[in-house]
């Protein structure tokens, strides 16, 4: 009974807060104070609605902007990772071996070799057959990257030119090593498609019109910068048919792909002629309003190109020119997506830069020589190509850790241009879908490494900062592996992950 009475009593008091409250106030407050209260409330309300009644053109003084809404006078300093400290402790080899060795177990047949070094001192922290020559798969692109950066320089660009032809009415499209051409307008913010054939064609039309050229134009192609077989006999026919690689030429659209968005499947077998045909079409469209027509079909120009890519005349007249993304940007793309065609092109351009022929033999010789110049012992390196697709390549884990050391801490600053291209575990490139399970999640965002994959080969070479702040470089290579066995990639990733979490002392 008391509980019920109490509840009802509380309900009655709450009802006073609506209609009863107004009656109580009128009874308790004198009329004059009520009027004053209404005036106080009315003034701010009037300020809110007044702008709607101001005549057009009239101005109303703006209220001062509160300090918290104003732009800051200074910008806060960016928050970045602290630089590495040389005082960070170096892991002990026995502790590293205890962590890594059990994880490098194959799933089925084959064997893993591996090497871990302290990047600063070169001290070997783990060595399982690290000096043994192995088929490296696409880890070989690390050596090719070093060669390109050393010989060409990180800021170098490849030029694709249009020259006045040897006969009236002819123009010559000259390949200068850019295989990342786009069909449309140049896109300066991109690496693939940085130089566009539509832009090149528009420039050529402007130059022809300025020279008073009219009538029909014939397009010739000069792709003689590269020599030797366009298709390496060391590549398996099945890999060529699957589109892993294609015949090499010094100009191509989309790294010799039909569609830049489709990076698998068959490729054009004459990428230079495909690019020349696209250029002729763009020239035809651009010249339609300038009194120019373009003959159907493209022919290869007679003569031999010089290393600079100008050949059909003693003093060729350049009508138009577009430049590629920088070598450093192309190296980044090559490492991120493991582009075989781009790697082979980089090898040939490095060969030309060192006075060698633009052939496979020139490319392999240049890559080995530049690895040696970067501090890598090269006496046991054997190369059949420079992209890693050939099974005849032999490179050791030690040679890879040495080149990664040169890139991260070596004296040649040009090699730093490769570091952005290393895929990041769980985030980018060929590692974007890895490092997501319980055994490898600790390496996500921390492991930075180049992958390598062939039917019976897996490799992973890169660098990581351990839990104590020490920069470590590593290389793990599996040969003779059971094709498709899932545990082998996991073994590589887990080994790299324990390095990232290592307080190995």
Tens digit of pLDDT for each residue in 402-421?
A: 999 999 999 999 999 999 99
If asked whether residues 343 and 319 sit together in one domain, one would say no
Residue 427: other Cβ atoms inside 10 A: 15
pLDDT, greater one: 300 or 314: 300
pLDDT at 75: 59
With a pLDDT cut of 90, the percent of the chain lying above it is 78
Quote the DSSP letter at residue 448. Answer: E
- Boundary-marking domain end, from 284, 301, 325: 325
Average pLDDT over residues 19-33: 42
Q: Provide the domain count of the chain.
A: 2
CA distance 267 to 245: 8
pLDDT at 32 over 70: no
If asked whether residues 348 and 483 sit together in one domain, one would say yes
CA distance 20 to 34: 17
Tens digit of pLDDT for each residue in 239-293?
A: 999 999 999 999 999 999 999 999 999 999 999 999 999 999 999 999 998 889 9
If asked whether residues 426 and 307 sit together in one domain, one would say no
- Boundary-marking domain end, from 301, 325, 349: 325
Token representation of residue 325: 């993304």
pLDDT at 290: 87
Residue-wise DSSP of 253-268: ETTT-SSTT--SS---
If asked whether residues 475 and 364 sit together in one domain, one would say yes
- Boundary-marking domain end, from 280, 298, 325: 325
CA distance 492 to 107: 11
Three-class secondary structure of residue 138 per DSSP: helix
Quote the DSSP letter at residue 68. Answer: G
If asked whether residues 129 and 248 sit together in one domain, one would say no
Average pLDDT over residues 298-326: 74
Tens digit of pLDDT for each residue in 462-503?
A: 999 999 999 999 999 999 999 999 999 999 999 999 999 998
User: Catalytic residue numbers?
Assistant: 138, 141, 338
Question: For residues 251 and 309, is the Cβ–Cβ distance under 8 A?
Answer: no
If asked whether residues 337 and 461 sit together in one domain, one would say yes
Tens digit of pLDDT for each residue in 193-208?
A: 999 999 999 999 999 9
The answer for residues whose C-beta is within 8 angstroms of residue 224's C-beta and 6 or more apart is 301, 303, 304, 305, 311
In a domain, 56, yes or no: no
CA distance 119 to 440: 22
In a domain, 68, yes or no: no
The pLDDT confidence band at residue 6, using thresholds 50, 70 and 90, is very low
Place of tokens 């490092």: 435
Average pLDDT over residues 73-97: 76
In a domain, 194, yes or no: yes
Question: For residues 304 and 224, is the Cβ–Cβ distance under 8 A?
Answer: yes
Place of tokens 């801490």: 409
Strands 457-465 and 124-128: unpaired
pLDDT at 10: 34
The pLDDT confidence band at residue 390, using thresholds 50, 70 and 90, is very high
Secondary structure of 381-432 in HEC code, one letter for each residue:
CECCCCCCCCCCCEECHHHHHHHHHHHHHCCCHHHHHHHHHCCECCCCHHHC
- Dihedral of CA 346/344/422/401: which sign? negative
Quote the DSSP letter at residue 441. Answer: G
In a domain, 69, yes or no: no
The pLDDT confidence band at residue 11, using thresholds 50, 70 and 90, is very low
pLDDT at 291: 87
In a domain, 71, yes or no: no
pLDDT at 383: 98
CA distance 160 to 222: 11
CA distance 268 to 289: 31
CA distance 262 to 40: 70
pLDDT at 439: 94
In a domain, 391, yes or no: yes
If asked whether residues 134 and 172 sit together in one domain, one would say no
The pLDDT confidence band at residue 505, using thresholds 50, 70 and 90, is confident
Tens digit of pLDDT for each residue in 82-91?
A: 567 788 999 9
Against a cut of 0.85, is the pTM above it? no
> C-alpha angle 202/358/280, rounded to 5°?
20
If asked whether residues 377 and 474 sit together in one domain, one would say yes
- Dihedral of CA 463/139/152/194: which sign? negative
For residue 418, the domain's CATH number is: 3.40.710.10
If asked whether residues 171 and 314 sit together in one domain, one would say yes
Tens digit of pLDDT for each residue in 142-195?
A: 999 999 999 999 999 999 999 999 999 999 999 999 999 999 999 999 999 999
Quote the DSSP letter at residue 130. Answer: T
If asked whether residues 167 and 147 sit together in one domain, one would say no
If asked whether residues 371 and 475 sit together in one domain, one would say yes
Tell me how far apart the terminal alpha carbons of the chain are, to the nearest angstrom: 75
In a domain, 44, yes or no: no
If asked whether residues 313 and 334 sit together in one domain, one would say no
Domain containing residue 350:
93-153+330-500
With a pLDDT cut of 70, the percent of the chain lying above it is 81
In a domain, 76, yes or no: no
pLDDT at 39: 47
> Closest by alpha carbon to 343, among 314, 312, 366, 318?
366
């Amino acid at each position: 009974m008391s509980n019920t009475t109490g509840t009802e009593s509380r309900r009655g008091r709450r009802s006073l807060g609506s209609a009863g409250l107004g009656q109580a106030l009128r009874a308790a407050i004198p009329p004059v104070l009520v009027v004053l209260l209404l005036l106080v409330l009315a003034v701010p309300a009037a300020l809110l609605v007044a702008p709607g009644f101001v005549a057009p053109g009239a101005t109303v003084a703006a209220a001062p902007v509160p300090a918290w809404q104003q732009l800051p006078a200074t910008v806060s300093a960016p928050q970045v990772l602290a630089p590495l400290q040389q005082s960070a402790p170096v892991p002990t080899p026995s502790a590293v071996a205890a962590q890594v060795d059990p994880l490098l177990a194959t799933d089925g047949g084959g064997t893993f070799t591996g090497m871990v070094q302290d990047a600063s001192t070169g001290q070997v922290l783990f060595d399982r057959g690290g000096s043994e020559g192995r088929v490296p798969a696409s880890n070989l692109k690390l050596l090719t990257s070093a060669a390109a950066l050393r010989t060409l320089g990180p800021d170098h660009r490849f030029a694709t030119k249009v020259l006045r032809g040897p006969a009236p009415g002819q123009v010559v499209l000259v390949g200068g090593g850019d295989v990342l051409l786009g069909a449309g307008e140049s896109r300066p913010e991109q690496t693939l498609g940085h130089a566009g054939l539509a832009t090149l064609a528009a420039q050529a039309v402007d130059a022809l019109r300025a020279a008073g050229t009219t009538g029909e134009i014939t397009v010739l192609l000069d792709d003689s910068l590269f020599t030797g077989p366009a298709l390496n006999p060391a590549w398996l026919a099945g890999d060529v048919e699957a589109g892993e690689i294609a015949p090499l030429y010094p100009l191509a659209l989309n790294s010799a792909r039909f569609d830049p968005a489709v990076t698998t499947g068959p490729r054009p077998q004459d990428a230079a002629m495909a690019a020349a045909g696209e250029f002729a079409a763009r020239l035809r469209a651009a010249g339609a309003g300038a009194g120019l027509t373009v003959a159907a079909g493209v022919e290869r120009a007679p003569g031999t190109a010089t290393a600079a890519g100008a050949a059909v005349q003693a003093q060729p007249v350049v009508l138009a020119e577009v430049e590629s993304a920088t070598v450093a940007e192309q190296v980044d793309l090559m490492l991120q997506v493991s582009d075989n065609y781009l790697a082979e092109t980089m090898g040939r351009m490095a060969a030309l830069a060192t006075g060698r022929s633009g052939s496979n033999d020139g490319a392999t010789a240049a890559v080995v020589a530049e690895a040696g110049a970067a501090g890598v012992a090269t006496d046991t390196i054997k190369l059949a190509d420079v992209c890693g697709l050939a099974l005849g390549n032999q490179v050791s884990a030690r040679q890879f850790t040495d080149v990664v050391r040169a890139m991260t801490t070596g004296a040649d600053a040009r090699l730093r241009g490769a570091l952005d291209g290393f895929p990041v575990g769980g985030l980018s490139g060929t590692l974007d879908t890895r490092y997501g399970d319980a055994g490898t999640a600790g390496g996500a965002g921390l492991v930075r490494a180049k992958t390598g994959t062939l039917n019976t080969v897996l490799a992973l070479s890169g660098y990581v900062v351990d839990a104590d702040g020490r920069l470590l470089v590593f290389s793990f290579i599996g040969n003779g592996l059971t094709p498709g066995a899932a545990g082998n990639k996991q073994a590589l990733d887990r080994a790299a992950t324990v390095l990232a979490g290592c307080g190995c002392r």
